[in-house]
């Protein structure tokens, strides 16, 4: 689109027929910093997508400048990208970059690493430590070697998450003798030195908080790099702002405070349930003060039925007295929605009743299994075991979503699955885009790449698909086992080039990470293909098209379902409620607000849970510790029902 095609801001309209409420459209067209307070279902992501279209189509963000969108989770970043690409011409959407805070920090460090002081500078091919256990393994190995004077350090730092937090306070890459009076800083300094310089083959290993702190330091110390960043982005979007950590907020301020960039943050304080991950309390007020941001509020809940919105408003008031009252959209009838507490004698009775209701909903209301979600506070494998087993007897699949969410978040997994979809089906434009974008990325192609190179790669892909389609067909005809699926996946990896994958995605360059991810996927494909006998159905199944998801509250954040069943509204599930009541109430609010039409809370007098010895045993349950949650639901008119358990036919 050239300058002649730009739309006059006065006549610009929302894309795809979507109508935004007044405060949302004011935010879209605002020329100042804004903080948007928006409850569940208010359309926060859609607001940002529409604002991106407005800025690009009206020339408010003019080339070569770009829009930077930062989200807390990878899938949220991808969702926002997809919405902008769907609503905006390709030439414009290229100037919209959506990423997580971790990706943003890593990009800065990777691009300007040589600008760091030598003592802070990691190696070029540093490894990224994604698990606290990876960090602990390095500490256990290298501290005794590099710092033999600290033989009792594990008596002080017992848990792996404590070890990780040591690296979050400040950069202490200097002689640890400087901190002899403070054992915490002494160990922090020791770990910074080890991770920067002394890991295998002198390659550094960093956690994402360390990467953020190094990027923050780099920008503070080098005004030329800071200026280059600010010249690149004229607008910055901040999604799910309530989850922003202290380290991330510091990086944000260093990057853009005092710049000409216009920032738009959206979020909901009532959904701040990541305090354990260093989410910064009061970050909304900090942002308003630091960036002189104007606060706007959204009032429409586009997701939930009137009954559920009413209950959410009551819970909101219990969390924040001045909380805004949300209103349901006009697509609902006034009395739509269901919320009940179901009480049972034991978890087997509970599972049988829930399974019976789910079967009825699927058959009588034509609800897809993926539109029903089982949410628990913790230990979905234990709380959902009986339900999952009884449903399976009815031919309905339920699965613990955690392992699939983690697997499907992997770039290589998305590429492999979309390559199979592209080959196995006649038309798959979205899969083709994923495949081509991946191939372009690992080959280093960008807008300046010569057309002949792009065409050559497209030709190579076309030739590969012709042969690969035969292999997929033969696999179905012959025996489907681990060996045959390994051969299928190996063809994709060989075509792609494993070396290029590792070079392009640093997380796959460490140890055996890439092979572990691929082997996990091979197992999932093998089991699923043996059941489905069809490649398209197999991949759909892996994506969860035919399953009822079971997950924790934290994993459900940002998702939505027709029906939510919260299993275990009991003290044992909220075991730390007395010490953590505000965050647990927020978690409770998040669980309730995932539902569009119906929420069922369950409580059981007897339930199998983990005991103090980490064994599963049936124990009597109490609700005395979470009386306040029951009081809130009672105030909202939510009845307690003791269902009659009917035998499944």
The residue to which tokens 């702190």 are assigned: 213
In eight-state DSSP terms, residue 167 is T
Note every long-range contact of 141-148, with CB atoms under 8 Å and residues 24 or more positions apart, other chains counting.
Answer: 142/194, 142/198, 142/199, 143/187, 143/190, 143/191, 143/194, 146/190, 146/193, 146/194, 146/198, 147/176, 147/190
Is residue 555 within a helix (H) or strand (E), and if so which, with residue range?
Answer: helix 553-556
The CA angle 84-85-87, to the nearest 5 degrees, is 65
Distance CA 434, CA 491 (A): 18
**Residue 38 marked in a binding site:** yes
| 3-class SS of residue 368 | coil
209, 240 in Cβ contact below 8 A? no
Quickly list H helices, 149-282.
Answer: 153-156, 160-166, 183-197, 208-221, 223-232, 246-256
**Residue 260 marked in a binding site:** no
Distance CA 256, CA 252 (A): 6
The token pair that represents 416 in the structure block: 């492999």
**Residue 103 marked in a binding site:** no
**Residue 306 marked in a binding site:** no
Distance CA 196, CA 206 (A): 7
**Residue 45 marked in a binding site:** yes
Q: Which of 182, 15, 24, 170 is nearest to 89 (CA)?
A: 15
Distance CA 475, CA 468 (A): 11
DSSP output for 90-113: HHHHTTEEEEEHHHHHHHHHHHHG
| 3-class SS of residue 525 | helix
60 to 13, 53, 56, 117: CA distances (angstroms): 15, 10, 6, 38
DSSP output for 406-456: HHHT-HHHHHHHHHHHHHHSS--HHHHHHHHHHHHHHTT--TTS-HHHHHH
292, 33 in Cβ contact below 8 A? yes
Backbone angles phi, psi at 235, to 5 degrees: -140, 145
Burial-class residue 350 by CB neighbours within 10 Å (0-12, 13-18, 19+). Answer: buried
Q: Which of 443, 437, 442, 407 is nearest to 422 (CA)?
A: 437
Q: How many CB atoms lie within 10 A of CB 404?
A: 17
**Residue 555 marked in a binding site:** no
**Residue 40 marked in a binding site:** yes
The CA angle 7-12-15, to the nearest 5 degrees, is 110
In eight-state DSSP terms, residue 506 is G
Distance CA 403, CA 409 (A): 10
**Residue 637 marked in a binding site:** no
Binding-site annotation, residues for ATP: 38-45
Annotated binding site: 38-45
């Amino acid at each position: 689109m050239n300058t002649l095609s730009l739309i006059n801001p006065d006549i610009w309209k929302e894309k795809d027929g979507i109508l935004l409420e007044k405060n949302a459209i004011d935010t879209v067209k605002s020329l100042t910093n804004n903080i948007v307070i928006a409850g569940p279902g208010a359309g926060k992501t859609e607001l940002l997508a529409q604002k991106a279209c407005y800025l690009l189509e009206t020339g408010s963000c003019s080339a070569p400048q770009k829009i930077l969108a930062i989200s807390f989770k990878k899938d949220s970043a991808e969702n926002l990208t997809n919405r902008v690409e769907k609503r905006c011409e390709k030439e414009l959407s290229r100037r919209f970059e959506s990423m997580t805070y971790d990706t943003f920090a890593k990009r800065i460090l990777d691009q300007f690493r040589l600008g760091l002081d030598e003592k802070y500078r990691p190696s070029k091919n540093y490894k990224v430590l994604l698990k606290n256990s990876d960090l602990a393994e390095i500490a256990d190995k290298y501290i005794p070697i590099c710092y033999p004077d600290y033989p009792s350090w594990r008596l002080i730092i017992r848990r792996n998450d404590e070890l990780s937090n040591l690296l979050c306070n400040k950069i202490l890459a200097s002689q640890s003798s400087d901190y002899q009076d403070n054992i915490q800083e002494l160990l922090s300094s020791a770990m910074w030195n080890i991770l920067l310089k002394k890991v295998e083959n002198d390659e550094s290993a960093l956690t994402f908080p360390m990467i953020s702190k190094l990027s923050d330091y780099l920008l503070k110390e080098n005004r030329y790099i800071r200026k280059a960043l600010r010249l690149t982005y004229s607008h910055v979007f901040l999604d799910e702002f309530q989850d922003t950590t202290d380290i991330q907020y510091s990086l944000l301020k260093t990057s853009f405070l005092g710049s000409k960039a216009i920032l738009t943050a959206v979020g909901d304080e009532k959904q701040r349930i990541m305090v354990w991950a260093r989410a910064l309390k009061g970050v909304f007020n900090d942002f308003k003060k630091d960036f002189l941001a104007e606060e706007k509020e959204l009032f429409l809940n586009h997701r939930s039925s009137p009954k559920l919105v009413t209950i959410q408003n009551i819970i909101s008031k219990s969390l924040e007295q001045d909380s805004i009252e949300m209103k349901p959209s006009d697509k609902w009838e006034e009395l739509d929605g269901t919320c009940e507490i179901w009480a049972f004698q034991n978890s087997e009775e509970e599972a049988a009743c829930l399974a019976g209701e789910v079967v009825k909903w699927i058959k009588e209301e034509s609800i897809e299994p993926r539109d029903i979600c089982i949410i628990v506070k913790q230990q979905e494998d234990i709380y959902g075991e009986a339900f999952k087993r009884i449903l399976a007897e009815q031919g309905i699949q339920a699965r613990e979503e955690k392992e699939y969410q983690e697997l499907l978040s992997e770039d290589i997994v998305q590429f492999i699955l979309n390559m199979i979809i592209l080959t196995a089906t006649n038309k798959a434009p979205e899969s083709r885009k994923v495949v081509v974008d991946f191939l372009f990325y690992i080959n280093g192609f960008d807008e300046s790449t010569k057309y002949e190179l792009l065409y050559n790669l497209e030709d190579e892909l076309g030739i590969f698909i012709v042969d690969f389609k035969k292999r997929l067909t033969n696999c179905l005809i012959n025996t489907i086992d681990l060996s045959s699926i390994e051969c299928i996946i190996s063809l994709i990896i060989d075509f792609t080039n494993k070396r290029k994958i590792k070079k392009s995605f640093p997380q796959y360059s460490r140890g055996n990470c890439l092979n572990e991810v691929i082997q996990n996927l091979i197992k999932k494909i093998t089991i699923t293909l043996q059941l489905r006998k069809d490649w398209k159905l197999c991949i759909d199944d892996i994506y969860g098209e035919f399953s009822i998801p079971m997950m924790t509250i934290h994993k459900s954040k940002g998702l939505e379902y027709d029906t939510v069943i919260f299993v275990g509204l009991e003290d044992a599930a909220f075991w730390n409620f007395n010490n953590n009541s505000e965050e647990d109430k927020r978690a409770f609010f998040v669980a309730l607000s995932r539902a569009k039409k119906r929420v069922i809370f369950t409580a059981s007098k007897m339930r199998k849970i983990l005991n103090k010895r980490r064994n599963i045993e049936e124990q009597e349950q109490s609700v005395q510790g979470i009386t306040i949650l029951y009081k809130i639901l009672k105030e909202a008119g939510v009845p307690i029902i003791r269902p009659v358990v009917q035998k499944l036919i």
